[in-house]
Amino acid sequence: MSYSTQQIRNVALAGHPGAGKTTLFEALLHAGGAIQTAGTIERGSTVSDFDPMEKQRGHSIDAAIGSTDHAGIHLNLIDTPGYPDFRGPTLSALAAVETVAVVVDADTGISYGTQRMLEHAKARGLCRVIVVNKIDHPGAKLGALLDNLRETFGPEVLPLNLPAEGGKSVVNCFWQSTGTSNLGPVADWHQKIIDQVVEINETVMDHYLDVGEDGLSGQELHDAFEQCLREGHLVPVCFVSARSGAGVRELLDIAEKLFPHPGEANPPPFVKGSGEDAQPIIANPDPNAHVIADVFKIVNDPFVGKLGIFRVYQGTVKKDTQLFVDDGKKPFKVAHLFKLKGKDHVEVAQAIPGDIAAVAKIDELHFDAVLHDSHDEDHIHLAPLAFPKPMFGLALDVTRKGQEQKLAIALHRLAEEDPCFHVEHELETNETVIRGLSDLHLRVNLERLKDRYGVEVDARPPRIAYRETIGAKAEGHHRHKKQTGGAGQFGEVFLRIEPLPRGGGFEFVDEVKGGTIPGQFLPAVEKGVRQVLSGGAVAGYPMQDVRVIVYDGKHHPVDSKEVAFVAAGKKAFLDAIGKARPQVLEPIAELEVTAPEQHMGDISGGLSSKRARISGTDSVRGGEIVVKAQVPLSELEGYAAELKSVTAGRGRYALDFSHYEPVPAQVQQKLVESYKPHHEED
């Protein structure tokens, strides 16, 4: 059907692994008539889990997109992975939707993934809906679950419908006030949600108090409801069974009548410019305005090439449209425009504001690129999403000589698809290192490397990214003087160094007076200092969090040259470092381990042996605990296998970078001793 922006609903299905997001995705497409039969994970026939690895593993690895038309609306759905190992594609989807539907398993209830996705959606200003799935399971305690949801996430959590007939059906409690349900009389919940909705708007509240609910128009209730969603004053709960279909059509009806269209939700956080000069701008969902669209997903398809999937915020993208990428000077032509249904690409004539579409074979496209059709929209970008920092690393070597270039191209393409998968070349060790969110995350990408691109590698732990710094102020001095028969070399440097706060980086300060070091030679002094910064002074690791103040020196009118002041600056800096209590810093990770609570003792004991500082434990539904700790990254090699062993495969963990801090003295001594044979004094 043809549709307007007001008829579009964009919804991401998110939540904990195993909650039933993919099954619900199938059920909604089927109920809307987009597919004839709902696929199943067991048969490997779902629209969204079409990748062979997803079929083999039985869970989503990447986000998938589909759409359906229902009762006058066009619903764009994004099915996202539940495992924290694949948070990159999940969080990327938040840039394309107005509503996040967090799916909760009626059997296991609130899980870590439930809390995390609700927090991410709230931080992004998105409308939040909780969908309780599997309501027809015999052991599901739906009343207790609803109470727990309200206790955990606040009184703004209220049901829009209620399970009935033992989970075989649902009954609406927003639009109707009579009837019974498995959770008691409909009237009780109806009154609670109406009170919650009308109090958001003073005009509606006053009218409600004057004339009662029957005197309110449907538009008044809709507008107040939409305001509640936008401001987080209401987090509605919908009950479904994706397997049986109970509540699925009702969920589509709720999306039609109550979910916001692209013009109703909080405006996307676009800014123009960068840094302190960046100014917020409003993307107006006007189909006749200049185009503004954001690329939120890249797919390197073996048949159609690079596919850039984007959300249109303003203007209309049509076939043959000329679009610029970011601040590029040369536009590309939209030769083909696609809507996606899992792995299938359906060609369309246009994409209007609020819609999700894709273009193929445009090499300049990248994640978070802004597409526009006028230079008036140069320097515009979306506020960045808060992605976790990839902490797990593997160093790679090709198993067959001659495949180095092929490996580089393949890794680049994999990194384009996942903002949490990084590829680095470590100059210190000449290693190609991939970094991700977990061992599983990296192993999946290594499988893709082999299956998609035919590149096999040997993987091993990389060198830990230690850093060096100083612990005190000190002064340094060096006179560089060489006489070789002809013109000589002369440069003398006096400098002071001071530690900066952790994360302070590097500062170079010129306090030279009287021209004792001519201005043209100060860049050479800084170059010498930076050579030490990149190569380290005591253990061969890059140095950070230090201020260098050059305050005096000497020069020779004939023999002073740039090379002399590079050497003098480097040696003076090394001289000062030796007096400034040099320290080796190690990366500390924020670790969260989720496992059955009976393994708490084994987990805590294991972490204590790794110099971990346990900051707390939380109990979650389903008999699980979440242990939070700060752990040196160097201690976590092999932890995936260790955790699997002590929890019989039921434990999992996630890592985020926290900070750098000094290593223990005995560790620093070992690192320094191992570096000495390779130290060159220059």
User: Tens of pLDDT along 97-150?
Assistant: 999 999 999 998 988 788 889 999 999 999 999 999 999 999 899 999 999 999
DSSP string of 430-452?
Answer: TEEEEEESSHHHHHHHHHHHHHH
Least confident segment among 154-168, 194-208, 219-233, 637-651: 637-651
Residue of 491, 492, 479 lying closest to 558 (CA atoms): 491
Checking if the pLDDT of 428 tops 70, the result is no
Name the 3-class secondary structure at 483: coil
Q: Mapped to the 3 state alphabet, what secondary structure does 171-226 carry?
A: EECCCCCCCEECCEEHHHHHHHHHHHHHCCCHHHHHHHHHHCHHHCCHHHHHHHHH
CA atoms within 13 A on the CB side of 240: 30
Q: How far is CA 448 from the centre of its chain?
A: 20
Checking if the pLDDT of 602 tops 80, the result is yes
- Six-digit token pair at 544? 């950070």
Q: What local confidence, expressed as pLDDT, does residue 172 receive?
A: 95
- 163 sits in the region (left: phi over 0; alpha: psi -120 to 50; else beta) called beta
What is the percentage of the chain residues whose pLDDT exceeds 70?
Answer: 98
- pLDDT higher for 595 or 574? 574
CB 649 within 8 A of CB 583: no
Checking if the pLDDT of 408 tops 90, the result is yes
Name the 3-class secondary structure at 121: helix
Q: What local confidence, expressed as pLDDT, does residue 429 receive?
A: 66
Average pLDDT over residues 539-547: 93
514 DSSP assignment: T
**Would you place residue 320 in the very low, low, confident or very high pLDDT band (cuts 50, 70, 90)?**
very high
Strands 292-301 and 161-164: unpaired
Residues 6+ apart with CB under 8 A from 613: 629, 630, 631
What pLDDT digit, counting tens, does each position of 434-487 carry? 999 888 899 999 999 999 999 999 999 888 889 999 999 999 999 999 877 677
- 287 sits in the region (left: phi over 0; alpha: psi -120 to 50; else beta) called alpha
CB 8 within 8 A of CB 20: no
Residue of 471, 460, 539, 463 lying closest to 501 (CA atoms): 471
Query: To which H or E segment does residue 158 belong?
Result: strand 157-159
Q: Could you give the dihedral angle defined by the CA atoms of residues 145, 146, 152 and 155, in that order, rounded to the nearest 10 degrees?
A: -170
Checking if the pLDDT of 677 tops 60, the result is no
Residue of 503, 494, 567 lying closest to 529 (CA atoms): 567
Query: Which residues, listed in sequence order, are joined to residue 679 by a DSSP beta bridge?
Result: none
Tokens 């850039």 appear where?
308
486: burial class by Cβ within 10 Å (0-12, 13-18, 19+)?
exposed
Checking if the pLDDT of 520 tops 70, the result is yes
Checking if the pLDDT of 275 tops 60, the result is yes
Q: Mapped to the 3 state alphabet, what secondary structure does 90-119 carry?
A: HHHHHHHCCEEEEEEECCCECCHHHHHHHH
Q: What local confidence, expressed as pLDDT, does residue 144 receive?
A: 95
Query: Which residues, listed in sequence order, are joined to residue 109 by a DSSP beta bridge?
Result: 105
In 10 A of CB 601, how many CB atoms?
Answer: 10
Q: How far is Cα 72 from Cα 69, in angstroms, rounded to an integer?
A: 7
- For 662-665, which contacts have Cβ atoms below 8 Å and span 24 or more sequence positions? 662/471, 662/583, 662/584, 662/585, 662/586, 663/466, 663/583, 663/584, 663/585, 663/586, 663/632, 664/611
Q: How far is Cα 100 from Cα 121, in angstroms, rounded to an integer?
A: 7
CB 549 within 8 A of CB 511: yes
Across the chain, what does the average pLDDT equal?
Answer: 91
What pLDDT digit, counting tens, does each position of 215-269 carry? 888 888 889 999 999 999 999 999 999 999 999 999 999 999 999 999 999 999 9
Query: Which residues, listed in sequence order, are joined to residue 78 by a DSSP beta bridge?
Result: 12, 65
- Six-digit token pair at 466? 């230690």
- Six-digit token pair at 460? 């091993």
